[in-house]
Amino acid sequence: MKRIIISLIIFLFLGFEDIKEININAIGDCTLGNYYGQDYKYSFDYIFDTKKDYSYFFKNVRGLFKKDDLTIANLEGPLTNSKDLKIKNASISYNFKGKKEYAKILKEGYVDVVNLSNNHIYDYGKKGYEDTLAALKSNGLDWYGNGRILIKNVKGIKIGILGYKLFGLEKLNVKSYKAYLLKEVQKVRKNCDYLIVTFHWGEENEYFPNKIQREIAHFLIDNGVDLILGHHPHVLQGIENYKGKYIAYSLGNFCYGGNRKPRDFDTVILNIKIKFSSQNKTLGTEINIIPCSISSTKNINDYCPKILKGQEKNRVLNKIKSLSKDLGEY
């Protein structure tokens, strides 16, 4: 009888508590523009110059993003008119850039926050990077990475976001890198209610994270990180549920101007719903995978991602499930 009464009291307490929910959508690599030396016809710039419509590129998903509380993307490349190529030999390096006004594409698509910690954001030097910051700011967009910590107030909840790029794992001193990350996390953890870390990491066109990536991800969650989002491989990787917290190792490409005919068109929108108590304590995180294609046309990239339905939707869901199998059930 006593147990029933206690259970009833707990139920009533939780029932009357003011529970808040934050709805976040996360997407992968967004390269808004062309690479140096790319054929103009049917390129990202060509499509924009033809359509002259900033809302075209996210038209199939902007309604979803408009309804959420926060949309996060990786901006892979500067928005600039600079001609200062970081590496001038186009045969050994892709140098991406888009026009400064392309920041409006993100705004029209209801993208709120972008990561700038990646291997292409300095493709046009310091000037290109500074132009990007100015373009984002003028369109009311926020950013993080490259040393900038973002704490976003969403419905009275403080969401902390950190971004890093991580390459050359074969030479990485893992112990030293963990110590560095721990200091970073401790610095922001006390000032936020929920902490997201994003990594631009892994190997291109690889469908599985490596051992070091998993070790670092687990270490961060063990030390207070609530959610980890990855990108860079240009393909999807699995999702891991580690101690009740999620690690999406790669969200793949999304609105990607870097390739007209990529080998893999599959992508996802990762929808994250987080419940908080009236004291802003995390009560739980729930994810929903929304299968997409990076293009609204088949076999050719038109830079206009669409949400998949029917058999194609199920195929991508099964793909994620298969890629996640060795990571544990998510």
Beta bridge pairs of residue 289: 270
Per the CB < 8 A criterion, the answer to whether 78 and 132 are in contact is yes
3-class SS at 183? helix
The DSSP call for residue 263 is S
Residue of 216, 292, 302 lying closest to 251 (CA atoms): 292
Per the CB < 8 A criterion, the answer to whether 123 and 97 are in contact is yes
Across all residues in the chain, what is the average pLDDT? 93
How do 282-293 and 150-154 pair as beta strands? Answer: unpaired
In the chain, the domains with their CATH numbers are 18-327 (3.60.21)
Determine what percent of the chain is predicted with pLDDT higher than 70: 93
Q: How confident is the model at residue 86 (pLDDT cuts 50, 70, 90)?
A: confident
pLDDT digits (tens, 9 = 90+) for 224-241: 999 999 999 999 999 999
Residue-level pLDDT at 203 = 94
pLDDT digits (tens, 9 = 90+) for 90-113: 555 789 999 999 999 999 999 999
Beta bridge pairs of residue 248: 229, 239
Per the CB < 8 A criterion, the answer to whether 263 and 276 are in contact is no
How far apart, in whole angstroms, are the C-alpha atoms of residue 101 and residue 154? 27
Per the CB < 8 A criterion, the answer to whether 61 and 255 are in contact is no
Residue-level pLDDT at 328 = 80
The packing angle between helices 174-189 and 211-222, to 10°, is 30
How do 70-75 and 20-31 pair as beta strands? Answer: parallel
How far apart, in whole angstroms, are the C-alpha atoms of residue 216 and residue 212? 6
* Half-sphere exposure for 18 (CA within 13 Å, toward CB): 5
